[in-house]
Amino acid sequence: MAPPFRADHIGSLLRPQALLDARSSLSSPSQMYSLDVPQSVKEAESRAIKDVVHIQLEKGIRPITDGEYARHIYYGGFFEKLSGFEARPDLPIPDAFRTDFPTTTGLAKMGAKTRAAVVCTGKIQYKDSPYLSEWLSLRDSLPKELWGEAKFTMPAPNYQHIQLKPGTAWTKESGYTSDEEYFDDLAKCYAAELKTLYNNGLHNIQIDDPHLTYFCSSQFLEGCRKDGTNTDELLDLYTRAHNKLLASKPKDLHAGMHLCRGNMSGSTHWVSGSYEKIAYKLFNETDYETYYLEFDDLERAGGFEPLRFLPKGKNVVLGLVTSKSAELEDPETIKERIYAAAAVIADAQKISKEEALDCLALSPQCGFSSSSLAGGLGMTMERMWEKLLLVKRIASEVWK
């Protein structure tokens, strides 16, 4: 089975200035969890989504996304809208978080004293869809025959749990007595949300889980050791949660997982390290069809060797074009790297390079604006579209 698109992208796009201006009245334009959004901001979001959909249609960019324009940050709008969760806007760094957690230690170096998170304080239940209004805003900007060419993104179920100090993702008042119970109910909410979105025309979902790459980071692993956390058991806990949310998804709802190493403004990343430590489990013990992987920088992301663990019937979208730099890549160099990745898969699966190419696609390594204020150094709207058109051009030449 081939990937849905040979030229893909991760979903988030640079926010237009009009949207940033509309959000300037908020306490922080990139605040993580905001349930009380002024009507003027909602209207600005709606206009921005219609405009960016029009640009994608005009330029032939696929898949079509809403640029995540309805969110301040890519994981916003989900956890805090489920029953049983409570947003905590100013948890202290480092006390409320895992020891040496790469994100919070990085933020502390930038001067941050607190960080927002969402804590479970009651029974986790799915009552109203967190993301249906966002999906409908994108869907209704398209003719019905193009709904299938759209992609929607969601944060991973482990997003809150992995960053918080062990034992604090859920409170005693929640009624939970184990992480397994917490994730069982959370996975049910995800499954219900996928069904809701699918019933309203969605056929391509991307779950963003950059934190799985933290298991490739010696800093994270050492911090877990200090906390007394068994990282093998923790990774198993998270992969099981992913599989539970996928267990009842409709067969024709394509599900992919995106992994990267952080995408803060100014081209900041949080961790480095090859996929080697997690590749076998990622590819063989999670039930996703497609994996969107960061490969734009050998020093940060490592080489293609972990692709030898990819089983037949699954796909990888190679994130070879960077959103962290405004410099345009050389097409021939990108093609060479695609063929190199195919060679690793071909050798491991004992198939031809042509067959191996069939399970690959090309994209940027991450989105262009994971939060309202994010963006690679020197990145502009014009260069962003040039990069996406470059991906499209290279893909059309490799997969003729």
Mapping DSSP onto H, E and C, the string for the chain reads: CCCCCCECCCCECCCCHHHHHHHCCCCCCCCCCCCCCCHHHHHHHHHHHHHHHHHHHHHCCCCECCECCCCCECCCCCHHHCEEEEEEEEEECCCCECCCCHHHHHHHHCCCCEEEEEEEEEEEECCCCCCHHHHHHHHCCCCHHHHHHECEEEECCCHHHHHECCCCCECHHHCCCCHHHHHHHHHHHHHHHHHHHHHCCCCEEEEECHHHHHHHCHHHHHHHHHHCCCHHHHHHHHHHHHHHHHCCCCCCCEEEEEECCCCECCCECCCCCCHHHCHHHHHHHCCCCEEEEECCCHHHHCCCHHHHHCCCCCEEEEEEECCCECCCCCHHHHHHHHHHHHHHHHHHHCCCHHHHHCCEEEEECCCCCCECCCCCECCCHHHHHHHHHHHHHHHHHHCC
Fold of 17-398: TIM Barrel (3.20.20)
Distance CA 363, CA 191 (A): 27
What pLDDT is attached to residue 268? 61
Distance CA 12, CA 337 (A): 24
Strands 204-208 and 290-294: unpaired
Q: Smallest Cα–Cα separation from 256: which of 136, 184, 156? A: 156
The Cα-based distances of 316 to 99, 157, 170, 320 in angstroms read 32, 21, 34, 12
Q: Please, what is the angle between helix 179-199 and helix 231-246, to 10°? A: 30
Sequence spans of domains, the chain? 17-398
Instruction: Return the structure tokens found at 189.
Output: 């909410």
What pLDDT is attached to residue 27? 63
Burial 216-243 (b: 16+ CB within 10 A, else e): bbebbbebbeeeebebeebbebbbbbbe
What pLDDT is attached to residue 298? 79
Strands 254-259 and 204-208: parallel
What pLDDT is attached to residue 31? 58
CB–CB of 87/120 below 8 Å?
no
Distance CA 209, CA 297 (A): 19
Report cis status (omega within 30 of 0) of the bond before 94: yes
The residue type found at 360 is L
pLDDT digits (tens, 9 = 90+) for 220-230: 999 999 999 99
The low-confidence residues of the chain, meaning pLDDT below 50, are 267
What pLDDT is attached to residue 376? 82
CB–CB of 161/179 below 8 Å?
yes
